[in-house]
A and B are shown apart, each in its own frame.
Chain A
């Protein structure tokens, strides 16, 4: 059961990346395929982490565009049922974002691995006797920089996880409220709730764009 879940999660991650890229272009698909090959041929944890963060930024841009469009279309909705469907589609988009940054997701695991690699490297350099002091210092400084950059990227992912979780919760709560309102035939009020959502979605889109601007793959 756990193995099947892991296989599904791994497949979902790869497929999510792949589908985003397909929609962009065939060339990008080839890039992803070769990136996956690299990932399985023993690249170091920090290189893999940087590469995955780069892919993540590309995919998030596509999802961000869809979210922007949803915010625009939600304003024009005149039918609560249609609104509920839009919210469901939005939940699907936000779920895609959250899937990528979940604590048990591939990127989070790679980030932790990259951080631990940097720590190990710094410890081993401390005991290193082969190099001249200035050479050793250079290596130590570079690893410290890499460690700081990795830590900053992990912090950005933490903050993204928090934002996406809040947005997903807000969408599902609104959907539930709309559902309750429709049960008592309060269609006008349901429409109001739907229209109010567009503000929250725009805010989420701004946060996503800010995140895209901040996330910096370490070592790049």
Chain B
């Protein structure tokens, strides 16, 4: 009997998903238990890799990551709840600017935040040059405290977005009901905290996963602070010669296991509890009028957090890029734009920025298109097994540490089997691009799922019964309605790819270095001024592209497209 395989666009989509998302990760993780099946050892099944990471540096790294994850998650959930309350429930003046800073924090990779702090407090850094005593803070920062602060700064926007979304939908009637039935302010607050608890648990789980997956801080502080963390141990296992893939895979598996445990605990807590707080009858809550002192205190609290999170690292990067001789014991120091000039004139400094800009543009474009397809498949009314599998793959991939992802790519596309299939992508820019795409796809798809699920099926159905075919319906109805979220997804993917670290570090092709690798190399060559100028230019270029994209949308998009999501009456 002849097996008939139907090849269509959906089959091609699935082949792509397996090739760029599923196969590399599974093959890499398989190393941990069956090295021989992938020509990495002599045993078909063994737990040797796990026993070898059960002590020494690896065990210490995993333990440190776990403790950091728990502490950072709890602290950020607390801070995010307080900030969300100040921003959403009070008339504190700080609420007007906070949203902008949340997105700035979301865009800034942890290694750039860490580097900003480093430039300030390192020996012969900006503080030393400016004569500000920094030995104390230096000793404190190059260790668990510094790592903790940077990771907390990175976790805060995630926790805030989850908790603030929930708080926004918590109507005023719950509080009113408690008060009119004789409850005190404290009782009202307790009830509100209970109603918010699903969001708080979600925030803790998400920040825990983000924290133990982070590679940026591992690549900067951890390597210099003698405080091992798991992602850096994994990096060393596959980057040292000879590479020890089974051990790297074992560390990756334990990291994934910890993330799964966190998500399961969250699910267990939420099971059977339904705190649905959003309905068509939800009444807006009353804004709490703060006293003058209250306004000062609330604004001061948020500003202090912003200073630590963004102000200090931004000042570190800007000042280091505008000072000559940072990090050098010999030369004099002066305020100058020479570092920027040298980035513009030196190909070794500006080529990484140009390269990353180009590849980020291509990746963002493809990721947005594919993410729209994924989101549509996930939200269609008749969700079949395919949608459920895709949902699981994307969810698992969101939780996957970037470093495990990159390691999976190195391993899978370096296998003799892959070469014998005629796939020679290892060490090419194409592979880097595919890894960027695969890394961006899960979160980009997830960011579109919410908007896509709000797109009522009847809008498309109305289009079909009034004479348009499926493609025309996508162009005429689906695209305009999701245009704005799609633009946001494009911008986030662009900025994320431009500044990406772990995949860039492990997969860049010789002669085509991405921005993060270029910065790292400049810093490794003690060109602190040039490296930080690259950082600043990289961030400015990302902001410029976002500004251009939104301006073009504002100028060129039809009026109706721009109205979607705008509140009535505006």
A and B from one complex: no
Q: Measuring CB to CB, which residues of chain A are less than 8 angstroms from any residue of chain B?
A: none
Q: Measuring CB to CB, which residues of chain B are less than 8 angstroms from any residue of chain A?
A: none
